[in-house]
Amino acid sequence: MRFLAIFRNGTTIVPQIVTTVVAARNIQRKEKKRTLKCGRVVKSEMTSSTLLTILKLLIIFLCAAWISLWILKPTQAWTIIWKHAEQSANNTIFGYYGLNFAVYTFPIIAIAIIGLLFLDLKGEYQRTRSSRSSSTVFSNQLVVNSLFGILTSIEILVVFLVIVFLGWTYYARISNDFKKLMQDKSLKLNLWQLKYLRIATRFGLLAEACLALLLLPILRGLSLFRIFGIQFEASVRYHTWIGTAMILFATIHGASTLFVWGVSHHIQHEIWKWQKTGRIYLAGEIALVIGLVIFVTSLPQIRRRKFEIFYYTHHLYILFLVFFLFHAGDKHFYMVFPGVFLFSLDKLLRIIQSSPKTCIVSARVFPCEAVELVLPKDPRLKYNPTSVVYMKIPTISHLQWHSFSIISSSKADENIMSVMIKCQGWWTNTLYDLIQTELNKGADKRKGIPVAIEGPYGPTSLDFLKHDSVLMVAGGSGITPFLSILAEIDSTTNKNKFPLKIQLVHVIKRAQDVCLLHSITHLLHNQASRKFHLKLKLFVTQETQLDLGITELLNEFVKVKTLKLDSVSSKYYAAYGLESPVWMAAITGCCSITFLIFLICFNHTIIPFRKKSKLSKEKTSSWIVDLLLIAAFVVALSCSALIAIVLRWRRLKKGIPPMSQKEINPFGQSSAEIKNDLEEHEVHFGGRPNFKDILGKFKNETCGSNVGVLVCGPESMKESVAAACQQESECFKLGLKRAEPCFTLHSLNFTL
């Protein structure tokens, strides 16, 4: 019996021991795997960090080298060195054109290629990290006024350096000219006329320097500014500044030259002159006239009221660049060519990306004459909050593109992306009428509305959200970027990546504009169950209805009519977005190499052929060489387009992927009454917000020292918020500890 008892105990204890041992070994294995995984993650992060540092140093080196070329170019020492280099290159297959391309053009192209690789690696690296980044002094606003807008300290520094560079270039050139004044035998000018002609000529070189920078700020897919965290909508103003300076210098150059010809009685002879070699005067005059037309039609008074005129005349830039090439010659054009090269390739890739049309699968119509469009997308397409897409609806216009902020999150919605559109112009009003027409039709008669999509374009990082607390200030339809931010925060599981305390200040003109908050009404409820705390302060400026609270407003105006359209068609595709940065870098490198190869081939085959007919290379018309440059560039773009088309069609899948009813209409019809659990949110009627007071209260409510202020709306509102941030921020006051609250302003743009 005792033996049986021991046996029985053994049969029960032994399995327990075995189970315990196995469980302990499993725990050890899991811990070992977790340790190995953490080790791999740390090792991967170290490798990525090292590669990012190397790429960053390469970009800095190439930028410094390109800037040094511009600084050294006006000096006499560089002129001597460059003449010897061109003579040596002429005896090789490379030729002087290859040397000019490699030295003056390729550094910027190389920066674009390395920058794309840098952005791709940076995006992957930041997705694996959850630490917050501290704000720097250089990111804070320094100048706030109605003339210049909001300028940061780094922007002021860059503008100052550009002005110094232009002054240095002009001084170095004109001082060398005055030392070596030579009489023009054909014009027979006296001394003051000759000096004034040299002054006018050097203003033309300043215009050339501005033209070299003019197209860089408006790149989208191949944007150099994204390396510094500047998006396309924000960099457009740099394009405006540089374009204004270029037209000013070019006008002084052209008007002064015509004045000298006039007083010397040579204007009738010189103005129609198309020289065989050297500067082609007529081409320069045509380029100046085209530039003035583009500048005048881009003034705010015309651009805002007659956008179509601005849009169509801006496409005259092609003729402007061609005639500038004929006027200045290929040697001067190589300094300008980097921007032309990248802009042309960027434009070509955007056309190819947007050519397979998608369609609107559903739309929501709001009482405030706003519509939300739901577009199909590939599940692999990911984008960051505040991203924008450019849309063209052929039913409305075959040429017009308009940018809109995406209000959905690619984490929460795999098969769709949504954009909110407030009807404020001819194009948007026509779209609203088109949706209303389809809404009035029977369900069996509705058809899909074709749409061409370009983008999305967005920030590569979310550093502007890595604050302890965030205050969002939106004016009217400027709420749209913040809708995507809130959707992203709501869908994320990592609390360390985003702020936990958010206050949203929304300024609207009429109470019915509250319907713009339709997509986040569910976030305003049940704050205790949310991963973050959201407080809404609503300001209705042009109405006085003091008896209405946020609950009554939402119940009255957040009513939506949903339109479901037919998207089952073999001619429609889901939006696939841009090519990967790695592929775009490869296409850019292929295009530059192809251009150089064909440029060398054309110059070595066509020019020697003319030489055989007793025409020396020096006597060859300069515009012939210019045409060869254009031909090589067209061939290179064609080859790159072929590669891009093959890549695009390999990614496309026929038809629209099936979507659930929740994806098509994720928030339902909003017909149910909104419950009265919104007491903490505020509504103010009949006045504009006092941003200084709002910032002061928010500063007292926040526990952390790092407060981000995001603002999107009219420029006047941005300037008011920026001024309030300057007054309330404690970062720059001496004698205070770093723990004092600091306001870091981030200005978002939702429209051009």
| pLDDT, tens digit, 9 for 90 and up, residues 39-89 | 454 555 677 788 888 988 999 999 999 999 989 988 888 888 988 888 888
pLDDT of 534 above 80? yes
Predicted structure pTM score: 0.83
More confident residue, 190 or 282: 282
CB neighbour burial string for 368-400, b if at least 16 within 10 angstroms, e if fewer: bbbbbbbbbbbeebbbbbbbbbbbbbeebeeeb
Name which of 377, 404, 407, 400 is nearest 388 in CA terms. Answer: 404
Supply the DSSP string of 343-388, one letter for each residue.
HHHHHHHHHHHHSS-EEE-EEEEETTTEEEEEEEB-TT----TT-E
Q: Where are the beta strands (DSSP E) in 423-482?
A: 449-457, 469-475
Supply the DSSP string of 543-571, one letter for each residue.
---TT--HHHHHHHH---EEEE-----TT
- SS3 assignment, position 407: coil
- Residue 5's pLDDT band, with cuts at 50, 70 and 90, is very low
Distance between CA 476 and CA 714 in Å, rounded?
A: 9
pLDDT of 98 above 60? yes
Overall size of the chain counted in residues: 752
More confident residue, 34 or 686: 686
| % of the chain at pLDDT higher than 70 | 78
pLDDT tens for each residue of 355-370: 878 888 888 888 888 8
pLDDT of 615 above 70? no
- Find which of 409-413, 475-479, 695-699 is predicted with most confidence, using mean pLDDT: 475-479
What is the model's pLDDT at position 138?
A: 41
| % of the chain at pLDDT higher than 90 | 18
What is the model's pLDDT at position 560?
A: 77
Tell the residue number behind the tokens 């500063």, with chain if given: 699
Average pLDDT, the chain: 79
- Residue 675's pLDDT band, with cuts at 50, 70 and 90, is low
pLDDT of 418 above 60? yes
pLDDT of 541 above 90? no
Name which of 449, 385, 450, 459 is nearest 417 in CA terms. Answer: 385
- If you compute the radius of gyration of the chain from its CA atoms, what whole number of angstroms results? 31
Copy the structure tokens of residue 334: 């190589």
Tell the residue number behind the tokens 């995006």, with chain if given: 123
The neighbour count for residue 23, using CB atoms within 10 Å, is: 10
pLDDT of 549 above 90? no
Q: What share of the chain is helix, strand, coil (3-state, %, to 5)?
A: 60, 15, 30
Under DSSP, the state recorded for 669 is T
- Find which of 371-385, 459-473, 486-500, 654-668 is predicted with most confidence, using mean pLDDT: 371-385
What is the model's pLDDT at position 38?
A: 47
CB neighbour burial string for 155-176, b if at least 16 within 10 angstroms, e if fewer: beeeeeebeeebeebbebbbee
What is the model's pLDDT at position 337?
A: 93
Q: Averaged over 697-722, what is the pLDDT?
A: 80
Rounded to 10 degrees, the C-alpha dihedral 326/330/333/337 comes to 110
What is the model's pLDDT at position 656?
A: 65
What is the model's pLDDT at position 558?
A: 67
Copy the structure tokens of residue 313: 């005349």
188 within 8 A of 260, measured Cβ to Cβ: no
What is the model's pLDDT at position 14?
A: 38
- SS3 assignment, position 135: coil
Task: Give ∠ CA 190-192-195 in degrees, rounded to 5.
Answer: 105
Q: Distances in Å between the alpha carbon of 733 and those of 133, 145, 152?
A: 22, 22, 18
What is the model's pLDDT at position 148?
A: 65
- Residue 546's pLDDT band, with cuts at 50, 70 and 90, is low
- Residue 678's pLDDT band, with cuts at 50, 70 and 90, is low
Tell the residue number behind the tokens 């270029």, with chain if given: 246
CB neighbour burial string for 571-586, b if at least 16 within 10 angstroms, e if fewer: ebbbbbbbbebebbbb
**Beta strand 501-508 with 469-475: parallel, antiparallel or unpaired?**
parallel
pLDDT of 640 above 90? yes
Kindly give the interhelix angle for 622-651 and 581-612, rounded to the nearest 10 degrees: 150
Lowest mean pLDDT among 233-237, 326-330, 570-574, 601-605: 570-574
What is the model's pLDDT at position 358?
A: 85
Name which of 515, 431, 433 is nearest 480 in CA terms. Answer: 515
Q: Distances in Å between the alpha carbon of 264 and those of 145, 186, 213, 596?
A: 46, 11, 35, 43
- List strands edge to edge, sheet with 388-392: 358-360, 449-457, 388-392, 402-405
Report CA 26 to chain centroid distance, whole Å.
Answer: 50
Lowest mean pLDDT among 331-335, 594-598, 633-637, 724-728: 724-728
The values of phi and psi at residue 129, to 5°, are -110, 150
